[in-house]
């Protein structure tokens, strides 16, 4: 029967201190994985890892936090070294760290080169660097592994005012397919998750506006916004042995937004 337990596995979740990243990290920890969470701010990783250890872990596994910028190779190397020292290596990587950047139409001055470069560097280059470095560790260990990249519905549809974000997430989907092709021979699967509108601590103030919430809900077939657990559950399944035969694809978690809800 399907087994969603992650006991004996080690997972790295980038951007794991808030929102979707925290939900995924806490879920993995609850199901038995040792977890390494990252974020740029040391205080955030300390607070989030303590929360997971105190409230979500049910066994003798644990969670540690490492402050790191996912777009910097030196920081990535430090995270992987910490995972190896604490847990012996890494079996699962969730590339979740990302930013939205400015909301601005392409022809406006606010949609500038600096903003575009910043979003691409974090959302796409960061995924590339972290996945490449982690895959090397997985290959050296000889046990295979799972890489899960958090993309977005924005990488599939042309949303207005989010050119850099959409381009970065479309790039993540393409990168996922290429990596899946190249890493398959080593027993490493690479897949992506594409969330739609999901309520997180970062946007709950926006969705508290009834008119905005109603507008967004009307764009989904299910007529509701997603919750963090709507993403964390599938992310758990993808990290478990249940999705061992899936690679190079994306899981669309959008409540029916892309089917013209």
Are 223 and 257 contacting, i.e. CB atoms less than 8 angstroms apart? Answer: no
Compute the distance between CA of residue 215 and CA of residue 239 in angstroms, rounded to an integer.
Answer: 33
Query: Mind listing the pLDDT tens digit for each residue in 128-164?
Result: 999 999 999 999 999 999 999 999 999 999 888 999 9
Which residue among 165, 197, 245, 250 is the active-site one?
A: 165
Distance CA 248, CA 253 (A): 16
Dihedral sign computed on CA atoms, order 54, 203, 170, 250: positive
Whether 165 is catalytic is yes
Structural domain contains residue 260:
no
* C-beta atoms surrounding 221 within 10 Å: 13
pLDDT band at 261 (very low <50, low <70, confident <90, very high): low
Q: What is the domain count for the chain?
A: 1
> Considering the domain boundaries, does residue 208 fall inside one?
no
**Structure confidence at residue 165 (pLDDT):** 94
Domain that holds residue 143: 10-196+227-251
**Parallel, antiparallel or unpaired: strands 63-67 and 34-39:** parallel
Is residue 198 predicted with pLDDT exceeding 90? yes
Residue appearing with tokens 């038995």: 32
Mean pLDDT of the chain: 95
- Look at residue 28 in the predicted model and tell me its pLDDT: 98
Q: How confident is the model at residue 83 (pLDDT cuts 50, 70, 90)?
A: very high
Residue 123 lies in a domain: yes
The H or E element spanning position 36 is strand 34-39
> pLDDT of 88-127, one tens digit each?
999 999 999 999 888 899 999 989 999 999 999 999 999 9
Domain membership of residue 213 (yes or no) is: no
User: Mean pLDDT, to the nearest integer, of 77-98?
Assistant: 97
State the pTM of this model: 0.95
Let me know if residue 2 belongs to a domain: no
Backbone angles phi, psi at 58, to 5 degrees: -115, -5
Residue 221 domain-assigned?
Answer: no
pLDDT at 159: 83
Domain-located, residue 242? yes
pLDDT tops 90 at residue 3: no
CATH of the domain at 178: 3.40.50.720
Q: Select from 137, 140, 141, 167 the least CA-distant residue to 152.
A: 167
Any domain includes 220? no
Sign of the alpha-carbon torsion through 22, 26, 32, 34: positive
Q: What was the pLDDT predicted at 206? A: 85
Q: Does residue 203 carry a pLDDT above 90? A: no
Which residues touch 135 (CB under 8 Å, ≥6 apart)? 145, 147, 179, 183, 186, 188
């Amino acid at each position: 029967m399907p087994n969603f337990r992650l006991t004996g596995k080690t997972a790295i979740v980038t951007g794991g201190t808030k929102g979707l990243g925290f939900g995924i990290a806490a879920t993995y920890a609850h199901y038995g994985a040792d977890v390494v969470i990252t974020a740029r701010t040391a205080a955030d990783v300390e607070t989030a890892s303590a929360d997971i250890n105190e409230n979500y872990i049910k066994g003798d596994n644990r969670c540690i936090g490492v402050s790191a910028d996912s777009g910097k190779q030196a920081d990535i190397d430090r995270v992987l070294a910490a995972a190896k020292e604490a847990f012996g290596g890494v079996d699962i990587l969730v590339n979740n760290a990302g930013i939205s950047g400015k909301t601005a139409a392409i022809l406006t001055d606010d949609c500038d080169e600096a903003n575009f470069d910043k979003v691409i560097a974090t959302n796409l280059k960061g995924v590339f660097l972290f996945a490449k470095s982690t895959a090397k560790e997985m290959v050296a260990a000889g046990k295979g592994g799972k890489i899960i990249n958090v993309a977005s519905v924005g990488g599939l549809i042309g949303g207005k005012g989010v050119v850099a974000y959409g381009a970065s997430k479309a790039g993540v989907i393409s990168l996922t397919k290429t990596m899946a092709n190249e890493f398959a021979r080593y027993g490493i699967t690479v897949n992506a998750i594409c969330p739609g509108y999901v309520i997180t601590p970062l946007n709950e103030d926006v969705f508290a506006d009834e008119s905005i919430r109603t507008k967004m809900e009307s764009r989904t077939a299910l007529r509701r916004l997603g919750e963090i657990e709507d993403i964390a559950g599938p992310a758990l399944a993808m990290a478990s042995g249940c999705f061992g035969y899936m690679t190079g694809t994306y899981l669309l978690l959008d409540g029916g937004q892309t089917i013209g809800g």
